[in-house]
Amino acid sequence: MDAILLQILNGLDKGSAYALIALGLTLIFGTLGVVNFAHGALFMIGAFCAVTLQRLLSLSYVTIDETRTDFLGNPLKVKTPYVESWFGPEIGQALIDWSVPLSILFAIPVMVGLGFLIERGLIKHFYKRPHADQILVTFGLAIVLQEIVKFIYGANPIPTPAPEAFSGSFDFGVLIGFEPNAIIYPYWRMIYFVFALIIIGAVFAFLRFTTFGMVVRAGMADRETVGLLGINIDRRFTIMFGVAAAVAGLAGVMYTPINSPNYHMGMDFLVLSFVVVVVGGMGSLPGAVLAGFLLGILESFASMNEVKSIVPGIDQIIIYLVAIVILLTRPRGLMGRKGVMEE
Amino acid sequence: MLGLNKRDTRFLLIVIALTLLTPFILQPFPEGSALAQFNAGYPDLMQRIAIFGIFAIGFNILFGLTGYLSFGHAAFLGVGSYSVVWMYKLLDYNVLPGLVLAIITSGLFALAIGYLSLRRSGIYFSILTLAFAQMSFNLAYSVLTPITNGETGLQVYTSDPQYLMSEGEPITPHLFGLVMNESYKLNLGGWVFTFNIGYYFTAVIAILAFYLSLRIFRSPFGLMLRAVKSNQTRLNYTGLNARPYTLAAFVISGMYAGLAGGLLAAMDPLAGAERMQWTESGAVVIMTILGGAGTLMGPVLGAGFIKYLEKIFSKINENVLEGWFSFLPEPLREVVVWIFSRFTGEGWALTLGLMFMLVVIFLPGGLMEGGERIRNLIRRKKNKPGDGASPDGTPAE
């Protein structure tokens, strides 16, 4: 029982990442009708927003402390981050420590701006082109973004730790009556899951309860009619692209403490996220979220030793296997709408 | 000749000539001259161009003709490589049995994957093929280690049986004693031309592969595949089932990929799982699109173009750039060198990505369309003073 619970928990953080990326992908597909292969790259850029902010905050100047010497006997060089000298050592240290959560504030404008740029500069011209062309051009864009990041930050993963306060683990089992140490779960993964739920909730609320969201939903159902009613639907869709980019970016920002970001993390997630979208049903937002969590949890179950001893290698292929079975038996995915990309 | 009309025969002859003369064509600059770094007549590179040409020709039969965009062809490439290396391990270093096995196994794989994937089309087809390929890749890395030797990659060990191995047989890949990596160097004035057995072996196979694709393009079967691309619904309404045709195209292109994978192992007796990764599938997509999908020559051109530039660009480092721009004043030179070095050397992938995007945006027909546009431009200029009678234009293919 506790093993099962533990696997469910373990699946949640990866599932959250899948769900967030898939949500953005579906949002773009549902509004603009564009298959965005660059979405994984947006996730990766989000993660590197966190790296950037961490580096910016840790920018230091060097002073020479004559009173102390290093092991060679030379005067010790002391690095002091600028933030420490501006805000005092305590606040400065805290700022650096909390750089990942702070990056959320930094990443939102960056990602929305980047989203606008991509949509207006590139994707706009591809509304009417076949899906294959959209896949290809965004695939090219993904390569370009990835290479640019590789240039700036190098090819190695960059560790970006979570704040000290969240570095430990939480004994989840005790809370619900298991023995101590039966179910241990890192704080940050829990935060990631809650964060993902908040973002998903926010996106759904935005679409559901605001006038803007209502217009967007109307546009998703029938773009032409909304346009004929004198509403500038293109502009709203562009904004939605920015939102989707921000969702992917935030997923990336918060993922950095779980997995050190490297330049190809986007591509790794992209393939899986597409599978998630297709399993959930093309164009269905709840489907994408549901499938994201479902596949994340399934993946973590498949990596249990008990399961692996029955079906060796199942952990490597479970997601693809599920996707193939679903695609072949339920053409519309789990919650796909009728008439959306049926062929 | 060979069941082709006059124009196609001429076309095929040109292709044969180009392929056989590649060691000359890619070596236009004398050794030791400043431009020698643009030479590409290395056996290794030429062989790669031919192999990826075959891969792209096969991919084009599926994507170019039927419009089904597969993101999983790397799986067949990997299967082909593994087959050949297994034949080395079991029989001997003769490449022929391995290549035959490569074509058969990749064909069977393609049949199974195609049968399932082709039940859907559009993006779903792409995702399905991607899923199958990633599955094969992951399995090759993990559970199938006894067959694939996992991360190390499959290679021949001295303890392998090699039942057909006889005394004095070469211990590198060969074709009935013709050792693949042996080459003959020809010194002509300042030029050095290398003729490699492996390249010519690959080239002959590539010509055969090209001939077969030419025949497919011109056949009623090819016409049927084009019909699938232009309007499948209509095809269905005329009472025709498109599935067998697309499946046949899928299997054929899978076999081409398997053959290409096998030839990679003939070049170098190794097979690794990374050949099955989806980025490799992405590479063949890029080659085909860049050259021009749906045209005969396009994919080959794309493969050659990319492999050539890859080699040349990777060689250009900052020192080389410094040399080129030495005529510029100091601060300006540094800026120029810095900018260029972002796109060369390690930055080759960035250039490739940008090039690919530009082609998709502005030249959906790839290099072939670009060539045709330029030709039309010239022709129009020529015709302006005349009566504008249309010259008998031959569509680029």
For A108-112, A139-143, B21-25, which range has the lowest pLDDT when averaged over its residues? B21-25
What pLDDT was estimated at residue B111? 95
Query: Is a pLDDT exceeding 70 seen at residue B389?
Result: no
Strands A60-69 and B191-196: unpaired
> Cβ–Cβ of B279/A267 closer than 8 Å?
yes
Tell me, yes or no, whether B216 and B358 share the same domain: no
Question: B85 is written with which tokens?
Answer: 């290396």
Burial of B278 by CB count in 10 Å (0-12 exposed, 13-18 middle, 19+ buried)?
Answer: buried
CB atoms within 10 A of CB A197: 15
Considering only CB atoms, A131 lies closest to which of B122, B138, B278, namely B122
Does residue B24 or residue A38 have the better pLDDT? A38
Q: Which residues of B touch A (CB under 8 A)?
A: 67, 69, 116, 119-124, 126-128, 130-132, 134-135, 138-139, 141-144, 278-279, 282, 285-286, 289, 342, 347, 349-350, 352-354, 356-357, 360-361, 364
Q: What's the pLDDT score for residue B296?
A: 87
- pLDDT at res. B393: 45
Domain end (from B315, B348, B365): B315
Number of alpha carbons in the 13 Å side-chain half-sphere of residue B114? 24
Structure confidence at residue B388 as a pLDDT band (50, 70, 90): very low
**Inter-chain residue contact A136 with B142, CB threshold 8 Å:** no
Q: Check: CB of residue B273 under 8 Å from CB of residue B153.
A: yes
| ipTM of predicted assembly, 2 dp | 0.80
In tens, the pLDDT along B187-207 reads: 777 777 878 888 888 999 999
Which chain B positions have a beta carbon within 8 Å of A321's beta carbon? 135
Report the pLDDT averaged over residues B150-173.
Answer: 80
Assess if residue B390 is contained within a domain.
no
Which structural domains are found in chain A, ordered by start?
2-58+102-329 (1.10.3470)
Cβ–Cβ under 8 Å, residues B85 and B275:
no
Q: Distance (Å) from the C-alpha of residue A178 to the closest C-alpha of chain B?
A: 34
Helix B43-66, helix B220-230: angle, nearest 10: 70
Nearest to A143 among B126, B132, B349 (CB): B349
Rounded mean pLDDT, B328-339: 79
For strand A75-81 and strand A169-171, is the pairing parallel, antiparallel, or unpaired?
unpaired
Say how far apart CA A266 and CA A25 lie, in whole Å.
13
The kind and range of the H/E element at A65 are strand A60-69
Residue scoring higher pLDDT (B212 or A64): B212
Token match 């420490």: residue? A84
CA angle, B187 then B190 then B195, to 5°: 35
> Do B203 and B247 lie in a common domain?
yes
Q: Is residue B1 part of a domain?
A: no
Chain A, residues 247-276, CB within 8 A of chain B, namely 267, 271, 274-275
Residues B102 and B163 in one domain: yes
Region B141-148 average pLDDT: 83
Indicate if B112 and B217 belong to the same structural domain. yes
Domain shared by B93 and B218, yes or no: yes
Tell whether B389 is covered by a domain: no
β-bridge partners, B270 = B155
Would you tell me the crossing angle of helices A99-121 and A39-57 to the nearest 10 degrees? 140
Determine the pLDDT at residue A342.
53
B35 min Cα distance to partner chain A (Å): 28
Give chain B's mean pLDDT.
84
Q: For residue B255, what pLDDT is reported? A: 95
Is residue B394 one of the residues assigned to a domain? no
Which of B315, B336, B371 is the last residue in one of the domains?
A: B315
Contacts of B285 in chain A (CB under 8 A): 136, 139
pLDDT at B56: 93
Contact yes or no for A125 and B116 at CB 8 A:
no
**Does a structural domain hold residue B14?**
yes
Q: What angle do CA A209, A210, A214 make, to 5 degrees?
A: 90
Do B304 and B344 lie in one domain? The reply is no
- The distance of Cα B135 from the centroid of its chain, to the nearest Å, equals 23
Q: Does B392 score more than 50 pLDDT?
A: no
Match 């001939």 to its residue by tokens: B211
- The beta-carbon contacts of A219-223 under 8 Å, at least 24 apart in sequence, are A219/A31, A220/A30, A220/A31, A220/A283
Q: How many CB pairs under 8 A join A and B?
A: 108
CATH number at residue B231: 1.10.3470
Mean pLDDT of B115-142: 86
Q: Hey, what amino acid is at A123?
A: I
Q: Among A79-83, B67-71, B87-91, B208-212, whose mean pLDDT is lowest? A: A79-83
- Look at residue B54 and tell me whether its pLDDT is greater than 90: yes
- Residue B391, pLDDT > 60, answer no
- Residues pairing with A62 in the sheet: A79
Select the more confidently predicted residue: A77 or B229. Answer: B229
B348 and B273 share a domain?
A: no
Percentage with pLDDT > 90 across chain B: 24
**pLDDT given for residue B328 in this prediction:** 77
Note whether B157 and B209 are same-domain residues. yes
Quote the domain boundaries for residue B31. 6-315
Instruction: Reduce the DSSP state of residue B178 to 3 states and report it.
Output: strand
| B156 domain-assigned | yes
- Residues B378 and B385: their CA atoms lie apart, in Å, by 13
Q: Which of B281, B298, B315 represents a domain boundary (last residue)? A: B315
**Is B397 part of any domain?**
no
Q: What is the mean pLDDT of residues B372-383?
A: 86
The angle that helices A233-255 and A2-32 make with each other, rounded to 10 degrees, is 150
Report the C-alpha gap between B225 and B209 in whole angstroms. 18
Could you report the per-residue pLDDT of A202-223, keeping only the tens digit for each? 999 998 899 999 998 888 888 8
- Regarding whether B346 and B359 lie in a shared domain, the answer is yes
Helix axes B95-117, B122-141, angle to 10 degrees: 130
pLDDT per position as a tens digit, B269-318: 888 888 888 888 888 988 898 888 888 888 999 998 888 888 888 877 77
Helix (H) or strand (E) holding B47: helix B43-66
State the pLDDT at residue A42: 92
User: In this structure, are B272 and B362 located in the same domain?
Assistant: no
Closest-CA residue of chain B to A281: B124
The answer as to whether B391 is a domain residue is: no
B297 lies in the same domain as B336: no
Mean pLDDT score, B317-335: 76
pLDDT at position B263 is 92
| DSSP 8-class letter at A264 | T
Q: Which residues of B touch A142 (CB under 8 A)?
A: 353
Same-domain pairing of B283 and B350: no
pLDDT of residue B1: 63
Rounded CA-CA distance B247/B118 in Å is 7
Confidence band of A341 (pLDDT split at 50, 70, 90): low
Q: Residue B77 — very low, low, confident or very high, per pLDDT cuts 50/70/90?
A: very high
Structurally, how many domains does chain B consist of?
A: 2
State whether B123 and A35 contact (CB < 8 Å): yes
DSSP state of A231: -
